[in-house]
């Protein structure tokens, strides 16, 4: 069993890996390869990803989701030269995105801490 993954008192799996709260990656959605393999097409767009222990499937999923959100929000950019998506917050995550060069995106994702409140009667 992985020493960083343990069961909490309620039987839920708790991931105690120190780097699991933050994800940072750099990608270029315009990069392509001559390969017809979809996984290779996605991998060539990812320039950097941390933490390094993340599975390739998870990496592809996160980068594809980010790219989809950027593409979706750009449909509503009715002002020429308007700013693209730069941040988003959900119940579990905060996303910060920055297009540092044309088609080069930095993305930082922070997982919100989970605080358990025990009810005592």
What is the sign of the dihedral through the CA atoms of 47, 49, 54 and 60? negative
State yes or no: pLDDT of 6 exceeds 60: no
Fold observed for domain 23-76+85-111: Beta-Lactamase (3.30.450)
State yes or no: pLDDT of 33 exceeds 70: yes
Give tens-digit pLDDT for 71-108: 888 887 666 666 777 888 988 889 999 999 999 999 99
Please classify residue 46 by burial: count the beta carbons closer than 10 Å to its beta carbon, then call 0-12 exposed, 13-18 middle and 19+ buried: middle
CA-to-CA distance for 102 and 81, rounded, in angstroms?
Answer: 12
Question: 0.85 exceeded by the pTM?
Answer: no
CA-to-CA distance for 25 and 38, rounded, in angstroms?
Answer: 20
Give tens-digit pLDDT for 41-65: 899 999 999 998 989 999 999 999 9
């Amino acid at each position: 069993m992985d020493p960083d993954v343990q069961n909490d008192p309620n039987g839920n799996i708790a991931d105690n890996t120190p780097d699991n709260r933050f994800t940072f990656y750099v990608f270029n959605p315009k990069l392509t390869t001559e390969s017809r393999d979809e996984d290779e097409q996605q991998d060539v767009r990812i320039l950097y990803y941390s933490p390094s222990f993340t599975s390739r499937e998870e990496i592809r999923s996160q980068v594809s989701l980010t790219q989809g959100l950027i593409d979706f929000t750009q449909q509503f950019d009715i002002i020429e030269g308007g700013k693209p998506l730069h941040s988003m917050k959900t119940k579990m995550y905060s996303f910060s995105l920055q297009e540092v060069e044309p088609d080069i995106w930095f993305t930082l994702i922070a997982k919100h801490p989970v605080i358990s409140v025990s009810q005592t009667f």
